[in-house]
Structure formats: structure tokens, C-alpha cells
Amino acid sequence: MSQPVFHAPDHDHERCTADALAHAETLCAQRSQRLTPIRRRVLEVLLESHKPLGAYEIMARAALSGARPAPITIYRSLDFLRDNGLVHRIESRNAFVACVNNHATGDLVVFLICDHCGAVGEAASAGVTDQLKAAARSAGFTPKVPVIEIGGVCAHCRQHDQG
């Protein structure tokens, strides 16, 4: 079953978080990587919502459950999580969001970012991926970070505004 692009406001967030953490643990074990306590905590902070967070906001939230981690610790954890496809960087927001979709590293990711509530949806993009790869190949270009970010209004906010 595929993940929804935007989670309903009343979705089972505990289940969503538990599934994402289980996926992270399995992925790290398969790759002989360590999901250390701080890396896990950074991922948990990002999983608390489906909204992008900056590194210092992650640091502040991580400190609520213990000692305040150093910025370099947060950035190293984010690098690890990003390298393993567990988080994405939202360039336009200078922030990070947990990846709750299971896709191959290097796949094009299309982020739909709600201007009202700040939620980030991760849309399937196989057709767009193929077209952009072909265009890049024909130009002799190799994309470094294949990401598209689109701002707009999610269906939940649009319904709320109309209601």
C-alpha cells in the first residue's frame, strides 16, 4: 500500500511514526549502519509532524528529552539520515523533513509544500523522473540532487477554507 501524499489531520500518527522508525532500523541494519540514539532522536523529532524543521529547531526539540545536543551533532545526524534516504532537505525552507515513503536513493522527489499549514507531501514522480532524466542525459548533464519543490495549498486547508 502506498503512502498518501498528504496525511489527513486525524491520521494515526503514532502508527505512522512507528512504521517510519521500524523502516529506518531495518534499513540501517541491512546497510550495516548504526542508528545511534542521537540519530534516532533527530529522526523522531522530524517524525513528530509532517512539517519541515530547521536544524536549530530540531536541536531545541531534541533537548526537551535530555541534554541539548551541539549543532555539529545535529548536522552530522542529519547528514547520516539524509545519506540513507531517511530525511530530505527542503531547500526553499532551509529545513528538513522525515521521509515516510520508501523509494530508491537518487529517485526524483517532488515535494508539495502547503503555504497555509506548512505540511510537506512527497508525491510519486516516475513519469516526471523519466522525462527529466532523459532531458538531462540529452544535455550531457548529471543532476546532483533531483528534487522539485512546489508551493501551494493542500486539500485539507482548501476544504477548511471553503467550509
What are phi and psi for residue 153, nearest 5 degrees?
-125, 125
What's the pLDDT score for residue 130?
81
Question: The whole model's pTM is what?
Answer: 0.83
| C-beta atoms surrounding 18 within 10 Å | 12
Q: Any idea what the Cα angle at residue 23 is, between residues 39 and 18, rounded to 5°? A: 80
Pick the CATH number of 13-162 from 3.40.50.300, 3.30.365.10, 3.40.1190.10, 1.10.10.10: 1.10.10.10
CA–CA dist 38, 63 (Å, integer): 11
Domain boundaries, the chain: 13-162
pLDDT tens-digit map of 65-92:
778 889 999 999 999 999 998 999 999 9
Cα–Cα separations (whole angstroms), residue 67 to 33, 47, 70, 91, 154: 24, 20, 9, 28, 36
What's the pLDDT score for residue 134?
87
Q: 32, 25 in Cβ contact below 8 A? A: no
What's the pLDDT score for residue 1?
44
Angle formed by the axes of helices 37-47 and 13-30, nearest 10°: 150
pLDDT tens-digit map of 1-16:
456 677 776 777 788 8
pLDDT tens-digit map of 11-69:
777 888 888 899 999 999 999 999 999 999 999 999 988 789 999 999 999 987 778 88
Strand order, beta sheet including 109-114: 120-123, 109-114, 147-152
What's the pLDDT score for residue 129?
78
**Facing residues of 147 across strands?**
109
pLDDT tens-digit map of 106-157:
567 788 999 998 888 888 677 787 888 889 889 999 877 677 899 999 988 9
In single-letter form, the type of residue at position 107 comes to D
